[in-house]
Amino acid sequence: MSDRVPRLLTRLARALPDAGFARVWEPSLEDLRAERRSRAEFLWRAVVMLAECYRVALSAALIGPRRRRQMEPQAEAIGMMDTLTQDARYAGRMLLKNPGFTSVAVLALALSIGANAVIFSLIDNLFVRPLPYAHADSLIRLWGHSTDGRQQRLPASVPKFEYLRRSQESSVALAADSGLLVAMTRLGDQPQRVSASIVTDNYFDVLGVPPIAGRTFLQGEEDRAPVVVITRQFWVKRLLSDPNAVGRTLTLDSRPYTVVGIVDNLPASDVGPVEAFLPMPVSLSGLTPELRQRGIGYLRITGRLNPAVTIEQARAEAAILAERYRDENREKADSSLREIAIRIREDLTGNVRPAILMLLAAVALVLLIACSNVANLLTARFAGRRREIALRAALGAKRARIVRLFLFESLLLSALGAIAGLGVARLCLDILPALGATNLPLDGNVTITPAVLWATASVALATGVLMGIYPALQAARPSASDALKDGGRGVSGARTPRRVRSVLVACQVSLSLMLLVGAALLIASFANLRRQEPGFDPTRVLTADVSLPASRYPDASAQQQFRQRLLDALRVSPGIESAALGAGVALTGIDWNAPFARGDGRVPPLHERLLGLTRSVSPGYFATMSIPVVGGRDFSEHDAADSPRVIVISQSTARKLFPTPTRSARPSSPARSAAARAARS
């Protein structure tokens, strides 16, 4: 047993060039085996031996075959490798001699290479790292876009999803999901909020996510079957890795659900913090069957393309189906929307791609500035060593050797900069999730992966060559007599390449200026954004989410009674000036869209109406949010379900609908929109 070599070592040895495996590795290994050492010592020596095999292979590769035959191994070892080692040591000593210069150069490079490594890590996390779905390249998303293009990525309604699912042919199947919060009781002392998703029964099949225990949903379980699939995180954190989790009953929103399976955590960039999946997307709590059929959209559609179908074909089909849906369902609220198919990766990262590319360009510019800065320093530094160069040349050193010597210094600087830069990047990546988690679709921690390391190493190598090659070539040029003549006058008197240094400085200044202008514009935009009036006053306003389980509050009447009780209790609480209810909070992205038009004259059909954001609110909402009612009146307690439907519109909507100067709230016809319903209630 002691002579077994791990497969990895053998694989690495097989990669030795020429006949290195059969002629060098194998006989060496057999000699080692014959020494009969302990297992641990054998393995350790095998690893060292493999490294040695690569060393001798490298040294053989660096020496030409003709010369190699003529040389003895001792001389060979002193060949190229030793010269390189000598040069590297000399470069190291020269840098150590000038700690001031070295630290300034390394600091400049560390900051710029570190910035690049951070962006590489982001690119790796966002665009390169594979999604945990089988063949994720063939997954697409279908989103609705308003005809004027102002509203994009709108979810689909149940009728539209069912129409698309029935009619489409470009995908193997379409699945849909929608997020919601559920209350879990009877597990622990306190009720727990669980982020869940209601999905179609084929959801996991379309995504290509197999269960790690139990099963996923079966065909036919889509219609409110009392089953739930949980994620690994839910299983570990909430069920404490219970080995009998599958089959357990969970009480979600006061209804019992049986855990039928556990799946691996899905990427947060795609599903958010979802921990449980319920199979009932066609019956969202709080929406009556009538409203669902009216075309209220809340479903996100995912499809898996057939093998022979391209994304362009899927897009064309989606456009045709959207038109047919509009023709056949003119009474639906979402009939006017165009359907756009995009790949899932683009769906997750499309918004941030331009920003990341811009950041990449910015850090590349910063790196260029650092390069020109250090190149300038190197030019001056090498110019000050012209006597040394002249002496070397006089002693027989070729120009190539001198250039190599200086290039080593530059490469060593960039290598030190890269190492320090990776440290800088590590620090930045630690704080990045806290800064950008809400704006970037990041999956887990952003780490420095081997791909990022390679990219950073390549950048460091390119940086080293870029900033060192010209100073090195320039320094190796002068003749001995020139150098000795100039030497007495010092650096300033030497015929240094002033023009090039001027160009470098000019580049540095212009690039810095460009970046500074960009940064100033960005800061100005940010300041403008902060000064922007949101239309309400968030000072002293607190918000809280409330979700009502459908089992306890099955109809609108029960829900309304709860809301009224809640409002009454809040309004008499000490410290609360006013309280109101609203479906979502402004600027959080939780909005409903509804088609609207003037109710007088010819009322256009639904698919010809404009689409606008609506929010159902209770009386007192405008006062609570300090939104001034500039015309007409606020909602009151008299605007109940059985009273005439009323709506409050924004000034911009008023200008669109009523070009005359009037600003009063006049009846329009989103008669059955969510806003109108809320206003009534």
Partner 1 sequence: MLTHLQFIVIGALLADEQSGKDVRRELKRHGVRRTAPAFYQMMSRLEDAGWIDGFYTQEVVDAQIIKERRYRVNPAGVRAWNSTRDFYAAVAARFDRVAHV
Regarding 10 and contact with partner 1 (CB under 8 A), the answer is: no
Task: Please say which residue, 67 or 633, places its beta carbon nearer to partner 1.
Answer: 67
Instruction: State the DSSP H helix or E strand holding residue 199, giving kind and residue range, or none if neither.
Output: strand 192-199
Residue type, 45: R
Residue type, 80: M
562: left (phi over 0), alpha (psi -120 to 50) or beta: alpha
Within residues 67-86, the interface with partner 1 by CB under 8 A covers 68-75, 77
> Which residue(s) pair with 181 in the sheet?
195
According to CB under 8 A, which one of 6, 8, 15, 18 is a site residue for partner 1?
A: 18
Q: Which residues contact 528 (CB under 8 A, 6 or more apart)?
A: none
Place of tokens 């800088």: 424
Structure tokens at 38: 């302990």
Count the Cβ atoms, other than its own, within 10 Å of residue 243.
8
List alpha helices for 78-128, DSSP H: 80-97, 99-123
> Which of the 8 DSSP states describes residue 25?
I
Residue type, 252: L
* N-to-C CA span, the chain: 80
Pairing of strands 156-157, 610-614: unpaired
Contact between 345 and 136 (Cβ < 8 Å): yes
Distance CA 259, CA 254 (A): 15
Task: Please say which residue, 66 or 540, places its beta carbon nearer to partner 1.
Answer: 66
> Which of the 8 DSSP states describes residue 621?
H
Distance CA 376, CA 388 (A): 20
Task: Please say which residue, 60 or 679, places its beta carbon nearer to partner 1.
Answer: 60
Cβ 7 to partner 1 shortest distance, Å: 18
Q: Per-residue x/- marks for partner 1, 21-50, CB under 8 A?
A: --xxxxxx-xxxxx--------------x-
Cβ 69 to partner 1 shortest distance, Å: 5
Count the Cβ atoms, other than its own, within 10 Å of residue 298.
21
Cβ 71 to partner 1 shortest distance, Å: 7
According to CB under 8 A, which one of 52, 162, 591, 634 is a site residue for partner 1?
A: 52
Regarding 3 and contact with partner 1 (CB under 8 A), the answer is: yes
Of the candidate spans 51-59, 276-284, 539-547, 633-641, the one that interacts with partner 1 by CB under 8 A turns out to be 51-59
Distance CA 397, CA 407 (A): 15
Describe the crossing of helices 39-62 and 26-34 by its angle, rounded to 10 degrees: 150
> Which residue(s) pair with 175 in the sheet?
302
Cβ 68 to partner 1 shortest distance, Å: 6
Task: Please say which residue, 32 or 194, places its beta carbon nearer to partner 1.
Answer: 32
Task: Please say which residue, 28 or 151, places its beta carbon nearer to partner 1.
Answer: 28
Cβ 51 to partner 1 shortest distance, Å: 9
Number of residues that bind partner 1 (CB under 8 A): 31
According to CB under 8 A, which one of 9, 47, 56, 173 is a site residue for partner 1?
A: 56
Nearest in space to 373 (alpha carbons), one of 508, 495, 275: 508
Cβ 396 to partner 1 shortest distance, Å: 25
Nearest in space to 457 (alpha carbons), one of 421, 427, 403: 421
Of the candidate spans 55-63, 229-237, 258-266, 275-283, the one that interacts with partner 1 by CB under 8 A turns out to be 55-63
Task: Please say which residue, 77 or 311, places its beta carbon nearer to partner 1.
Answer: 77
Within residues 325-354, the interface with partner 1 by CB under 8 A covers none
According to CB under 8 A, which one of 14, 39, 55, 67 is a site residue for partner 1?
A: 55
Cβ 270 to partner 1 shortest distance, Å: 50
Task: Please say which residue, 68 or 224, places its beta carbon nearer to partner 1.
Answer: 68
Regarding 60 and contact with partner 1 (CB under 8 A), the answer is: yes
Task: Please say which residue, 30 or 242, places its beta carbon nearer to partner 1.
Answer: 30
Cβ 58 to partner 1 shortest distance, Å: 11
Cβ 84 to partner 1 shortest distance, Å: 18
Cβ 115 to partner 1 shortest distance, Å: 42
Distance CA 606, CA 610 (A): 9
Task: Please say which residue, 74 or 219, places its beta carbon nearer to partner 1.
Answer: 74
Task: Please say which residue, 27 or 493, places its beta carbon nearer to partner 1.
Answer: 27
Of the candidate spans 65-73, 128-136, 338-346, 360-368, the one that interacts with partner 1 by CB under 8 A turns out to be 65-73
Cβ 8 to partner 1 shortest distance, Å: 18
Distance CA 675, CA 595 (A): 11
Q: What angle do CA 675, 678, 681 make, to 5 degrees?
A: 150
Residue ranges in contact with partner 1 by CB under 8 A: 3, 18-20, 23-28, 30-34, 49, 52-53, 55-57, 60, 68-75, 77
